[in-house]
Every structure is written in structure tokens, then in C-alpha cells.
Amino acid sequence: MQASPNGKTPIDIKHSSKCTGFESALGLDRRGFLQRFGGGLGGIALANMLHAETGNGLHHAAKAKRVIFLFQSGAPSQIDLFDHKPRLIKETGKELPDSIRKGQRLTGMSGNQASLPLVGSPFKFSQHGKSGHWMSDLLPETAKIADDLCIVKSMYTEAINHGPGVTFMQTGSQFPGRPSMGAWLSHGLGTMNQNLPNFVTLVTKNKGGQPLVSRLWGSGFLPGKHAGTRFRPDKDAILYLNSPKGVSSEGRRKMLDRLKDLHELQLERTGDPRLETRIAQYEMGYRMQSSIPEVTNLGKEPDSTFQLYGQDARKPGTFAANCLLARRLAEQDVRFIQLYHPGWDQHGGLPGGIRRQCKETDQASAALVTDLKARGMLEDTLVVWGGEFGRTNYCQGKFDAKNFGRDHHPRCFSIWMAGGGAKPGFSYGRTDEYSYNVAENGVHVHDFHATILHLLGIDHERLTYKYQGRHFRLTDVHGRVVKNVLV
Amino acid sequence: MTIRYAACIFIFGPVPLLAEIDFNQQIRPILSDKCFKCHGPAAKNQKSKLRLDSFENAVKSHGGVVALVPGKLEDSELHWRIRSDESDEVMPPLKAKLPLSPKEKDLLDQWILEGGKYQKHWSFEPLPASVPVPRSDSSDPRNEIDHFIAHELKNSGLHPSDEANRETLLRRVTFDLTGLPPTLDELDDFLADKEANAYEKAVDRLLDSDAYAERMTAEWLDVARYADTYGYQVDRNRYVWPWRDWVIKAFRENLSYDQFVTEQIAGDLLPHATRDQILATCFNRLHSQKVEGGSVPEEFRIEYVADRVHTVGTAFLGLTFECSRCHDHKYDPITQKDYYSLSAFFNNVDESGLYSYFTGSVPTPTLELGDLPSDEGIRQAQEQLRKVENSDEANDAFAKWDGNQSGEVLELSGPVAHLSFDEFKGGKLSNSVDPKKPASSSANNKLVEGKMHQAMKLTGDDPVNLPKGVGDFNRHQPFSLALWVNPSQLLDRGVVARRSKAWTDAASRGYELLLEEGKPSFALVHFWPGNAVRIRSKKVVPLDKWTHLAVTYDGSSMAKGMELFENGVLLESEVIRDHLTREITGGGDPFLALGQRMRDRGFKNGSVDELYVYDRKLTGSEVRSLAQFDSEATKEDLFEIFLQSAYEPYLKQAIQLRKEREAFGEARQRIPEIMVMREMPGNRETHILNRGLYSDRKEVVTAETPGFLPSVDKSNPSNRLGLARWLTSPNHPLLARVTINRYWQMIFGRGLVSTSEDFGSQGKPPTHPELLDWLARDFIDSGWDLRHLFRQMVLSSTYRQGSELTRTDRDLDPENLLLSRGPAYRLPAEMVRDSALAVSGLLHRKKGGPGVKPYDLKVSFKVINPDRAPNVYCRSVYTFWKRTAPAPVMMTFDSSKRDVCMVRRERTDSPSQTLVLLNGPQFVEAARVTAHKLVDKFGKQKDDKLVAHAFRLLTSRKPEKQELKILYQLLAEQKVVFSDLSKAKEFFTHRPQLTGEFKTKTDDPTHLAAVTMLISALMNFDASISKR
């Protein structure tokens, strides 16, 4: 195409005549608009799916606007934290009864053990708050927010190993390839902010433990832009955020302005509406260069914040610092904030190991809930705490009541939720007297996902994406909303 | 033609009700998406008896109610149900949440009125022998493609675009065929070439290049889910790049596509298969593999087989087999039985579901990538040994031998360890051979009354460990073990003795004596099950009594060199595995241990007594003696004992044989191995798995191709080779269509079937069905010649069109389905990076070899140290691919994750892409280097020339006046910004981690920095990173 006919040089055209008015059958204009504001096709996807039922792009009124998932990777022992079992303590040292095991599969790590001796928790349990939640003395700070917590003690899963287990919790499938929960939400709900990614992942630094993999916050078969963005505890919080050394903000701005001029000319030349998107992406990238350092800079928080979250929060990359950062991201309306804290995989040396883990997480987890509440954000922010499965009531390896280990246990585990429409001070589901099987109100991982989507205003059966000829869902073909845990 | 018209209304909306309905284009998609879930081909697991997947089913009466009465709306239940207002009557039911649109209802009604005709799904129909080319008034037809395209455009209101200018065209075709931009020389040559066939010549030059082969390979790596690591959670490195180099070679040599497919599926089964043909089958092993401790191997082995099925399904058949893993396909006529019958082709390899945590063994089956060392030395030594054995001298010496009369033969060459289990103090068990080297055990194992004095009762969870080094035999070393055992329960598996750190976690590396279902089983293992020898007794060891067991081995690495004895009697045994080609030491625990092994089942509640370990093969009579079997040694026995323990010439020769075997073994061990396919002896049964669950086995199926597709020529074998022959047969409905569609997508940006992964009823119908068929037939007729296919595409006028959009284009066909203009989109990830390297001159044209590590791996989720120059400048096809943390720059630009087979990438725009291009070291460095070169070339006084040259270098075209003006402004502004010398110097300070390998030297940092920013801006400019 030729230069504009009015004789003006296109450099002066700040808004090309082709930037607007694309009223095409396929709504490219709308798509371009949404991409410019980061909403992407997700907004359209849901809007189309819903036939604008509720007028605000949701299937029903949402209780939660955002989620902070404090994922405890490696699988914390329910028996030593929330699921108090006096009978198990009494029968410590005895063999796991066949009537309880019921021939169910074990992992290859303890499955070949000649003996499976029961071991009760060595930690002291007591009840807390008006709700009377049982917790062990490993969680003194969490105990203080007992009345804010909805504890589900009857979670169960299908995976018996970490890789499949974590993948199941995050994507609804044990095997790689599906989108993560945050990616589904990004696809379904679009973004609420213009300067930050929609879905952020924070991993505790230098924790070792079971390896995590980037697909856990990946987009699976959804477009790549729905993948979680991992913020690193580094100056470059995201990939190549900062301009090269020596390039000033002013220099960058000027260069981008000229690039924009070139792109507007190119838009003239080609008529390709994607150029509008590209121009917008350069602007968003530029904004992120200041918005991300700003949100990740914890330095301006008052001392009281660090008293609340613990002094660990001053060290970038700790769980405490990530909890605080999660609150700051939530304030900026990042929709899904996924934390990972590895190190709960206590096959041996559990009493010492779990004590360390709790020291690293108890105060900050409780602080996050307290802080959100104080800021009036807990109402519409759902906080979830939990791992990929539970741990066995029997000892892995040699029996030693003081220094034992527990193997993976998919048949029951405990998680807690706070805020965002989860019923506070409430305990749901029950395990048997050995914390081996679910005795009442089991909550499958698919049910858990269905419930979270419900709180966000989404019907899990209707948030779908057609791929390879099939309408895929986070909950596959399963899942039911656990109505009892809702406010 | 109806189809053509249908394609149009697909795009342009409202249905002109007068046009006749086309079932495949208009009705099948509705039925499939909205009805088949409950009324589809999955007869077994849908509640309703009504099926709408065929005419015969749809017109069946169900108690007088008929869904489809051709031509009669009022009699057709289908009509009433889709129009019903009653919530319990309306179809699809409200709870299905898949309402029909008014347009879809109208279409269904019209279809009923027109007779409710069905067609077989288009892609399952055999490929026609020939396809007529439509007559068109194409203004500028270059080949048949243009006629098909013009024919569809005729009534659309759209017109073909003019041919793109020559710069644009050369740039487009060079990227499409080689993944690289044209050099300025290539561009000038092309512009200077005034001959009519200049473009054709350029195309032929591009097709016949290494760069073409690399570009084609980059695309194939997505399909093959190629990665340099195993994936899943632990994700160790693996050695598979020789397969990638095989692919490059195949494309470079223009291997015909049918052969390309055949060799990858079944190269090992070809007659006289070459090493390269076997190597090609690594394709089937590129799926993710598992090592996480405690995993159930069978669960993952089944997963591997499934991945092969899904890959073949997607890559070659364009079908989604995944659904039918758990149940009959809801939309396509793929039954669960079809799925498992197809999986049977890939189920017959001797593999484990886990790779080895404690060793680096390559998971079996494997191919040795090198010539085997000569075994001549071994054969000669064996021959010599036989000669010595049969010599008169030996007989004479035997006659004179004292041992002939003595009963103490065993003392002549004593054991290397002996545990009597009579004394157990402080965790130590005395070893009568060397009191300083006692064995050790946990106190959980207890002394009990034994066969001779005391014995040890084992828990099964606590080992008895001999000292380090004792019993650590490799495969060239003969050895023997003997002990008394007293099992107290029938064990389906129990480890009695082992030199081996772990079961699945070490793939059983070492040797072992087990009780399997109570039967003694003796094995030497490099990687279980595919590289091992195992013999197993046919007899169960009795419970609650003492039995003497002995195993002997002659150092031959063969099952026939292994023996099992019970109470001194040689046991009849069966050979379970007989393929040991590599070392059996390593993996940890370099000593013999009893009763337990890591994550294995131990000799629970069994007792052991009088263990003897020998570093030679015991003779039968020696074993009998150890077993207290009261019998006279025969003369033959004694002669054997004499040879092995007392006759110097024999002993010398035996040592020579051992040395030859050791040397051979070591040389062989150095040859790298790679995973491939090899049929295992016998047939592994393949079962239908209920709901896909590995442990829920149902009926046995045999290897067969899906029933709804044309059947196999009976002359083909029923193995992978037969499958490949079937796929590549000239009338196969899918392979050629799927293939040319994928390559059409590569060249035009979208397939004629836009869902290139799904040719089933849920996929999108083709925009140009006849063209698809014509190209497929033409491709086959050309001998599956890919270069021919690409010539057809890129020489067409359709391809050569300019890509500019007009308002009419946008209004009528924003997605360019009818191809009234040339393709335009952002370049794929590899090209974005490679072109920056190419224009800067940094690109390192090394071909093949191990994956290379560019700068961005340093900041990936799993930090990997980058390579140094020049490897950091290799083409992206060689980028080391770590599945759990793929190269972040590639991922930012929508690269496939390579977890599973992918035939189509998303194309997105994101702010992260802008940050990578503006700030990523690879790109900033390329900009600096380019700037450096240009400043060297033009000096500081000719910025105007420099700018024009830079623009052309980056975009292959000359800048327009306005563009030049913008760029001058940019340069001037940046000079001002960098007139702050401290900034400019900081910009050029060498920090290897941040700025790359290149060191900048300049006496005018301000100017160079400004030019660098100019180049960087151009590298971010659409004209550099988009195909236009």
C-alpha cells in the first residue's frame, strides 16, 4: 500500500486510519482489542460460551476474583498436621491391618517391605478457635487463624508418585499435556490488569526436594500466552525484563517510539491488523519494565509487615517473601498466583524434616490470610494450602518411633482454604481411625477443581477448549462442586 | 459443485436455503459435535439405542419412533426434538450445555427434507486414482494449484493479488524452504537474473541445500516429540541426537516420504536392515520416560506404548486415537479394540517402564552405533583351551595327579568367601576365608538352628552384606555361589543373593539369585529386561526344609554358560533371556549381599546357611560335595577338577580366554548405544485395558489396523513393517492427505484442513477438498517426492501473490481461507533466532552433533550452562531440548514443548516476545556484532548509507523514504542519549553472562551504541520477523 494520500508524512500519524473500524464477520477488531489489553481470546471464548448469561462474562456470580495457591510440594503428612488420630497413636508399632489396607496399591518404595508397622504422630494435638479445628503444635500460627480456615480432610487422588501427583493437582491429569488451572482461568476469564501477567508462579528458592517442572504452570494445548509466568527472585524477575546495561529508560523509550513509527507505516503498507497487536505488546512490555520491579520490590513495606510475615520475608525467594509478594500481586489484580514450596517428601527422618518445613511456612501462610483480611481482600481472594497427596500411616523402612518416615499416600490427605467464598471455621470430610481411607465425604482432585472454578463464577462443565476434536475441561469428564464448603 | 459452494457459505455466513446440503461439509460437523456424544458410533457405552452415525441407524424404528424419515419433517423425531420447548424433551438436552443455533436447526431440517443423505466421512474414503483439475479463468496459472484456487475464488467477490515483488518473494521462499533469510548476495544475484526461470532456479538451489534439510528437520522434531532429555519429573539427559542427524540426512538426500515413514516405524524389520534404517526407529522411543522412585513400571510401559499409538495416529493418520484408549471414540468410528489392536504393533519390544536411576544404561532395546570389536581373540583362546583339554599331555599329567586320589579337591582353589552363620557379634558374621573381612548384618536378622550348627533367619528387609569388593564380578569373570536355603513361605519373588544395588531403580544391574514363584532364578543383567541372561528352574524349592542351591557361570555372557543346582543335582532350567552385551558391574553396592535389595522383595522369613563364593566355575562334583551329596566323583569329574584347579597349561589358557573376553567387553562397552525398536522373541500379549488402566486387563487382541479403514494387503506381515506398508500403500485414505496438508500448512501458514491434527469428524472440513486430493495423488505419483511437492507449492501463482490486505479481503475473508493473497505471519521461533544470527554473520553452520546450549538456557527454569562460541551460534534446530524446562526463548515464540506429538503450533503475540527481542543476550549481541561490521564497512561519516544497508540486510528490501526518515531520527536520538560516554561504555562492557561471547572494541562507543540500537530496532521490526 501507498503512503497516505493527504500528503502528511505517516510519521505524524499517531493513529492510523486502519487502526479502527474493522467490522469483520470474525470479529478481528474485537480480538485485536482484547489482545491489546491482554484479555485475548479467552474473553471471547467465555463470552461466546455463556451467551452473556450473567452479563459480566461469568456463568454465575463469583465469590472469588483471584486465587493464591500455596502449594506444598512433596506432600505434607496429614497425620502430623491436621488429621488427629488417637487410635493410630495407640497402635504404633503394630502391623497395618489388612482390613484397612484392603489390598490397595502401594508405591514401589515401601510396597515390597516385609512389614508395614503403624506409626502415630509424635506431635501434640489440640483444638483451636471457636471452630475447634484440631492441629498439631507444629502449626502455632496457623492455629491462630483456625476460624478463617475451611479444612478438607478427605481429599484423595489417583497418583502415587510426585510427578503424576503434582501434575494431577495442577492440570487435572496425571500425564503431561493438559493446561494448568491458572492457564484455564486465564483462558476463561481473561485478565484484570494491564501491566502484569495474569498468572504468576513463585517457587521457593534453593529448596531442593522433589523436582518441579515448568509444565506445571504451562498452558498445555491452550495458546502459550495463558502459561504462568514465573517470577524469579532476581533483578530480571521475568525473562530479559531489564534493558541491557547502559540503555537508559529514556533511550529505550525513544527507540520504542521510532519502532512504533515504523510499525504504523508497516500497518499502512500491509493492512495487517496483527501489527496493532504488536504495537500494543511493545507498550505492555515497556510498562512491565517498571511495573514488575515495582511490585517485586518488598523494600518499601513497613517493618510491621515483616513482623507479620517473619523476618525471612526480607530474603528474596523464601516462602515468606513469596507470600508477601503474592499479596502485592493480588493487590494488583493478578488473577492466579501459584506458590510452590518443596521439601515435604519425608520418606525418612520425618519428625525433624516436617518441623523444619513448618517453621518455613507456618507463620507466612497465616500472615497472608491475616494480611488479606486486614486489607479487606480475603473476601474475594481464595487462599489454598496443600500438597499433591498424603502420607502413609505406616513407617517406611525400619520402624523407629522417634525417627521414622512415611511413604506416599493417595487415599486421603488434608488441605485448607481461606476466603474467596470458602466456609470459614469449617471442617469437611473424615478419614478412618487410621487416616488411611476416606470414611466420609471424599473430595477427589476433580471435585476440588470444580469447586475452585465454581467460586470464581465458572461452571466447570462449561469451561471447555476444543482440541483434537474434543471439548477438553480442567475436570476431564468428572468433578462435582462440593457445595458444603461454600459460604 | 456442492462442496465448493459449501466451503463458501462456511466462510460467509447465512445459508441460502436453496443450495443443496452437503452432508460432510454441513451436517456431519453438527451431528458430530452436538449429537454423537450420546448417539454416535460408541455403541457400547452410550445409554441411548438411537445412533445417528449412519443412515441405516438413523432410520431405524425405536418402538414406532423414527429419528429420520427422509423428506418428511413431521415424521422425523429429530426435527421435533431439536425444536422442542420442553426441557425434558429438547435435544441436545439442556444439561449437555451444547445448544444448537437456529442456523444449525435450519440446516438439519433442510437436510431431512432433502432426503437425509449420508456420506462416508470424506477423509476415510480412499484417495481417488486421479482428480480432475477444474477449468478456471485464472489470470496467471502456473500450475494446477492455481486452477483449484481460482475456481473457488470465482464467485467469492475476491480477486487474486498481484505477484509479490521479487525481494519479497525471494525472502519468503528462502525462509519457507531453508528457515533463513536470503543473503544480500543471493538477493542481488536473483534481482540480476533476468531469465524467465530465475525464480525456479532459486527454488531448486534452496531445495538442494543443507539449510533446507535443517529447516525440514526442525518441523519434524515437533512431530516426533524430540527431546534431549527423558522428560517427566527427573528428566535426565539422554543420547538420541544421532536420530536427529539421521532425519537431517534423510531430508538432505530427499529420501522418499513413504520410505522416510517406513524406516522410522519399522526400519529394523526391513530385509537386511542397515544400521541407519534401524537407527530411524528411535522415532518410536522419543516419548517421555520415567525414573521416579517407587513408580510402577508397567504403568509407564503402557504409557510408552500409548504414546507411540497417539504419535502414529496424529502424525500419519491425522486422527485422535487418545479418546479410544478408554472407550470407543465418541465421534469417529475408532473402537477401543481398534486402539489396542494398533497398540499391539508397538507393544512387542523388550523394554522396561522405568529407566535406571543408579546407572547410565540406555533403556533397551538398543542399537550399538559403531562396528563391533573383533571377537577373533576369544575364538582363538577357546580353541586353544579345547586343544589343551584334549591333549595327550593333559591326560598324562592327570594320571600322575595326586588329587586323583584325594577327596580334598575343593581346597585346591578355595572360595573367595565363606560364611558359616555360626557366630553373629556386633553386627558381624565371620568369614572363614578372611577373618579380617567379616560380613555385616542388622540385628533384625537372627541366628537360628541351621543346617550345620547355626544359620541366619532373614527379615527380607535387612541385607547380609559381604565386604566391599567381594563378589563384584563382571561378565567376563566365571564365578559360583553355593548356600543352603530354608524358605518358610512361598514367595512370588524373593531376593536370595545379589550383586546389585537395586531392582527397578538400577534396572537390576549386576547378578542375582532369586526365588520367583518359589523357583530359583539366576541372572546376569546390564539392563533388565533387554540386556541380560537369565535361566530359571522349573522346580519350586520346598518350604520349611533345607535345600542346597548353587549357581555357576563360565564367563561367556551366554545362558548356556550358566547352571543351577539343587542339592548337588543340575536342575533343568529354561532360558528366560539370552542377550547380554554390556557390563554388569556398577550402579553401587560393589559386593555380594543376601536376603534383601533396595525396593525389591527380600527373602522374607527365609533362612540361609553355609554360603560359599568362588571366582571360578565349580564343577558338578564340587557342587555335589558342597551339598554333602554322598557320591563318588567320576573320573570325568576329577579330570575337570584337575584341569580347572591343578593343570598349569589349562589354567594359563583359561586366564587368556578371560582376558580376551574382558578386552572384547571393554571395547564393546565403549561403543555408544541408542534406543531403537527390535521385536522381542515371542509375542507379548496385548490386552484391551478397561478404561485404559494398565492393571485392568480385558480380552487379548492381535496387531491389526483400524477396522473402519481399508484393510491390509494380506501379503504384508502382521508387524510394524506390515503397518508401514499399509500406511504407505498408494490408495491409503490418510497418509498422503495428512502429509501434504502439514506441508501446505508449513508453506501457507494454514492447512487446507486447518485442524492438521484432526481429519476426523470433529476436525474442520477442507477448504479445497479437490485440491487436497489432487496434491496427495500428485505427491504419491511423484514417488512421495517432497521436493516435487514443495516445487508445486512455491512455484504456483497462488504462493507468489503479494500478502497485503485490502478492505475487501478483510471484510470477506479475513483469515485468507480462499487464498486471494499470499501468506503473512510472524516467523516461527527457530527462524526468529536464526535470522538474527544469520544477518549478524554469527551463525555457526556446524551440522549435526550433540544438542547445543544457547544463552537462554542459563535463565531457564532448570539452569544449564550455555556453550561457548561458536556453539552458541548454531542453528536452533540443534538447541538442546530439556523437556521440563525447554529453551525459554523458543517457548516465548510458541515453540512446541515436545512432550507429545504436535503437528501445529499456536502463533501468539506477547509482551514477553518484545522483551526477548529487545534485551535477550543472543539478540543484543547479534545487534552489536552487526553494528560493528557496518561501522567498519561504512565508517562514521556515511550514516545514510549505513542505514539503508542495514535496513536491506534485515528486511531484504530497500527502505521507503519515510522509513529512512524514521531511522535517521532514531540514530540521531540515540547518539544524543549515548553522548553520555559512561552509558555507552557501560553498554559495551564485556560481561560474558549478560552480553554474550563477543567482545566489542571501539574508539567511538557513542556512535557504535547508537548504531546498535538502530539494528536492534530493525531486529524488532515486523519486516524482519514476519513472513510477508
pLDDT at A37: 31
Q: State the pLDDT confidence band at B412, using cuts at 50, 70 and 90.
A: low
Which one has a higher pLDDT value, A380 or B714?
A380
Q: State the pLDDT confidence band at B358, using cuts at 50, 70 and 90.
A: very high
pLDDT in tens, A324-353: 999 999 999 999 999 999 999 999 999 999
- By C-alpha distance, which of A226, A76, A86 is closest to A155? A76
Give CA–CA dist A280/B335, Å, rounded. 48
Contact A396, A348 (CB under 8 A): yes
pLDDT at B18: 52
Q: Does domain B402-646 have CATH number 2.40.50.140?
A: no
- Name the residue in chain A with its Cα closest to that of B859: A239
Give CA–CA dist B846/A8, Å, rounded. 50
Does the pLDDT value for residue B812 go beyond 80? yes
pLDDT at B403: 67
For residue B527, the surrounding DSSP H or E stretch is strand B519-527
Cβ neighbours of residue A332 closer than 8 Å, sequence gap 6 or more: A193, A195, A196, A291, A295
B322–A255: do the CB atoms touch at under 8 Å?
Answer: no
Does the pLDDT value for residue B305 go beyond 60? yes
A108–B294: do the CB atoms touch at under 8 Å?
Answer: yes
Average pLDDT score over residue span B45-70: 87
- Grid coordinates representing A130 are 471457636
Does the pLDDT value for residue A320 go beyond 90? yes
Three state DSSP letters for B402-428: HHHCCCCHHHHHCCCEEEEEEEEECCE
Give CA–CA dist A59/A38, Å, rounded. 21
A108–B920: do the CB atoms touch at under 8 Å?
Answer: no
Contact B356, B506 (CB under 8 A): yes
Q: Look up residue B677 and give its amino acid.
A: M
Average pLDDT over all residues of chain A: 87
Give CA–CA dist B63/B53, Å, rounded. 19
- Grid coordinates representing A251 are 533511550
- Name the residue in chain A with its Cα closest to that of B314: A468
Give CA–CA dist A406/A76, Å, rounded. 10
Residue B363, number of CB atoms within 10 A of its CB: 24
A254–B970: do the CB atoms touch at under 8 Å?
Answer: yes
- CB contacts of B928 in chain A (<8 Å) are none
The verdict on whether omega for the bond into residue B365 sits within 30 degrees of 0, i.e. cis, is: yes
Roughly what angle, to the nearest 10 degrees, separates helices B257-266 and B720-727? 160
Sequential DSSP letters for B942-961: -HHHHHHHHHHHHHSSPPPH
Does the pLDDT value for residue B555 go beyond 80? yes
Most A-contacting residue of B897, B905, B954 (CB-CB within 10 A), to test interface: B897
A239–B994: do the CB atoms touch at under 8 Å?
Answer: no
- Name the residue in chain A with its Cα closest to that of B904: A221
Contact B721, B282 (CB under 8 A): no
Least confident of A138-142, A212-216, B801-805: A212-216
Does the pLDDT value for residue A22 go beyond 80? no
Least confident of A355-359, B394-398, B471-475, B735-739: B394-398
**Cα B897 vs. chain centroid, distance in angstroms?**
13
pLDDT at A315: 96
Radius of gyration of the CA atoms of chain B, in A? 36
For residue B983, the distance in angstroms to the closest alpha carbon of chain A comes to 4
A246–B912: do the CB atoms touch at under 8 Å?
Answer: no
Residue B986, number of CB atoms within 10 A of its CB: 18
Give CA–CA dist B662/B972, Å, rounded. 73
For residue A408, the distance in angstroms to the closest alpha carbon of chain B comes to 9
The verdict on whether omega for the bond into residue B160 sits within 30 degrees of 0, i.e. cis, is: no
For residue A184, the distance in angstroms to the closest alpha carbon of chain B comes to 16
- CB contacts of A107 in chain B (<8 Å) are 293-295
Give CA–CA dist A113/A199, Å, rounded. 43
Give CA–CA dist A142/A368, Å, rounded. 10
- CB contacts of A243 in chain B (<8 Å) are 918-919
Contact B818, B767 (CB under 8 A): yes
pLDDT in tens, A109-130: 888 888 899 999 999 999 999 9
Q: What are phi and psi of B702, to 5 degrees?
A: -110, 165
Q: State the pLDDT confidence band at A470, using cuts at 50, 70 and 90.
A: confident
Give CA–CA dist B46/B36, Å, rounded. 10
Give CA–CA dist B648/A30, Å, rounded. 93
B892–A22: do the CB atoms touch at under 8 Å?
Answer: no
B1013–A247: do the CB atoms touch at under 8 Å?
Answer: yes
- CB contacts of B888 in chain A (<8 Å) are 239
- CB contacts of A397 in chain B (<8 Å) are 461
Does the pLDDT value for residue B631 go beyond 80? no
pLDDT at B9: 35
B962–A9: do the CB atoms touch at under 8 Å?
Answer: yes
- What is the interface size between A and B, counted as CB pairs within 8 Å? 280
- By C-alpha distance, which of B142, B165, B364 is closest to B955? B165
For residue B513, the surrounding DSSP H or E stretch is strand B510-516
pLDDT in tens, B447-457: 999 999 999 99
Contact B888, A218 (CB under 8 A): no
Give CA–CA dist B949/B942, Å, rounded. 11
Contact B325, B338 (CB under 8 A): no
pLDDT in tens, B970-985: 999 999 999 999 999 9
Does the pLDDT value for residue A354 go beyond 80? yes
Q: State the pLDDT confidence band at B645, using cuts at 50, 70 and 90.
A: confident
B915–A251: do the CB atoms touch at under 8 Å?
Answer: no
pLDDT at B405: 56
pLDDT at A208: 81
For residue A374, the distance in angstroms to the closest alpha carbon of chain B comes to 34
Q: What are phi and psi of B613, to 5 degrees?
A: -125, 125
- Grid coordinates representing B550 are 548353587
Most B-contacting residue of A174, A187, A258, A282 (CB-CB within 10 A), to test interface: A258
Could you tell me the CA-to-CA distances from B702 to B303, B690, B708 in Å, in that order? 19, 16, 16
Give CA–CA dist A91/A89, Å, rounded. 6
Q: What is the share, in percent, of chain B residues with pLDDT greater than 90?
A: 79
Least confident of B29-38, B106-115, B293-302, B1010-1019: B29-38
- Torsion-angle region of residue A52: left (phi > 0), alpha (psi -120 to 50) or beta? left
Give CA–CA dist B897/B903, Å, rounded. 12
A240–B967: do the CB atoms touch at under 8 Å?
Answer: no
- Torsion-angle region of residue B587: left (phi > 0), alpha (psi -120 to 50) or beta? left
pLDDT at A58: 83
B1021–A262: do the CB atoms touch at under 8 Å?
Answer: yes
For residue A271, the distance in angstroms to the closest alpha carbon of chain B comes to 5
Q: State the pLDDT confidence band at B185, using cuts at 50, 70 and 90.
A: very high
**Cα A417 vs. chain centroid, distance in angstroms?**
12
B811, with CB counted inside 10 A (0-12, 13-18, 19+), is middle
For residue B899, the distance in angstroms to the closest alpha carbon of chain A comes to 7
pLDDT at A403: 86
B604–A278: do the CB atoms touch at under 8 Å?
Answer: no
Could you tell me the CA-to-CA distances from A67 to A215, A324, A335, B159, B661 in Å, in that order? 19, 14, 6, 51, 64
B1022–A9: do the CB atoms touch at under 8 Å?
Answer: no
- Name the residue in chain B with its Cα closest to that of A41: B908
Give CA–CA dist B471/B465, Å, rounded. 11
Cβ neighbours of residue B472 closer than 8 Å, sequence gap 6 or more: B499, B585, B590, B591, B592
Q: Which residues pair with residue A438 across a beta bridge?
A: A431
A9–B965: do the CB atoms touch at under 8 Å?
Answer: yes
Does the pLDDT value for residue B252 go beyond 50? yes
- CB contacts of B297 in chain A (<8 Å) are 108
Average pLDDT score over residue span B658-667: 97
Domain boundaries, chain A: 21-57, 63-233+316-485, 240-301
- Grid coordinates representing B54 are 449412519
Q: State the pLDDT confidence band at B14, using cuts at 50, 70 and 90.
A: very low
pTM (predicted TM-score): 0.88
Does the pLDDT value for residue A2 go beyond 70? no
A270–B824: do the CB atoms touch at under 8 Å?
Answer: yes
Does the pLDDT value for residue A32 go beyond 70? no
Contact A254, B970 (CB under 8 A): yes
pLDDT in tens, B16-50: 445 688 888 889 888 888 888 889 887 776 778 88
Relative to beta strand A390-395, strand A426-428 is: unpaired
Does the pLDDT value for residue B13 go beyond 60? no
A265–B962: do the CB atoms touch at under 8 Å?
Answer: yes
B906–A223: do the CB atoms touch at under 8 Å?
Answer: yes
The verdict on whether omega for the bond into residue B41 sits within 30 degrees of 0, i.e. cis, is: no
Most B-contacting residue of A158, A214, A400 (CB-CB within 10 A), to test interface: A214
Average pLDDT score over residue span B73-81: 91
- Name the residue in chain B with its Cα closest to that of A218: B897
Contact B720, B266 (CB under 8 A): yes
Residue A464 has, within 13 A of its CA and on its CB side, a CA count of: 17
- By C-alpha distance, which of A216, A200, A202 is closest to A167? A216
pLDDT at A16: 31
SS3 B566: strand
Q: Does domain A63-233+316-485 have CATH number 3.40.1000?
A: no
- Name the residue in chain A with its Cα closest to that of B762: A469
Contact A339, A69 (CB under 8 A): yes
- CB contacts of A317 in chain B (<8 Å) are none
- Name the residue in chain A with its Cα closest to that of B1025: A278
Q: State the pLDDT confidence band at A29, using cuts at 50, 70 and 90.
A: very low
Q: Which residues pair with residue A340 across a beta bridge?
A: A71, A203
Average pLDDT over all residues of chain B: 93
pLDDT at B11: 40
For residue B87, the distance in angstroms to the closest alpha carbon of chain A comes to 18
Cross-chain CB nearest to A272 (options B805, B811, B970): B805
Domain boundaries, chain B: 2-119, 402-646, 829-892+909-1028
- Name the residue in chain B with its Cα closest to that of A13: B962
Give CA–CA dist B299/B838, Å, rounded. 46
Most B-contacting residue of A17, A26, A247 (CB-CB within 10 A), to test interface: A247
Contact A465, A187 (CB under 8 A): yes
Most A-contacting residue of B37, B919, B973 (CB-CB within 10 A), to test interface: B919
pLDDT at B499: 98
Q: Which residues pair with residue B368 across a beta bridge?
A: B673
A468–B322: do the CB atoms touch at under 8 Å?
Answer: yes
pLDDT in tens, A43-76: 334 433 333 333 345 889 999 999 999 999 999 9
- CB contacts of B985 in chain A (<8 Å) are 246
B232–A163: do the CB atoms touch at under 8 Å?
Answer: yes
Residue B75 has, within 13 A of its CA and on its CB side, a CA count of: 15
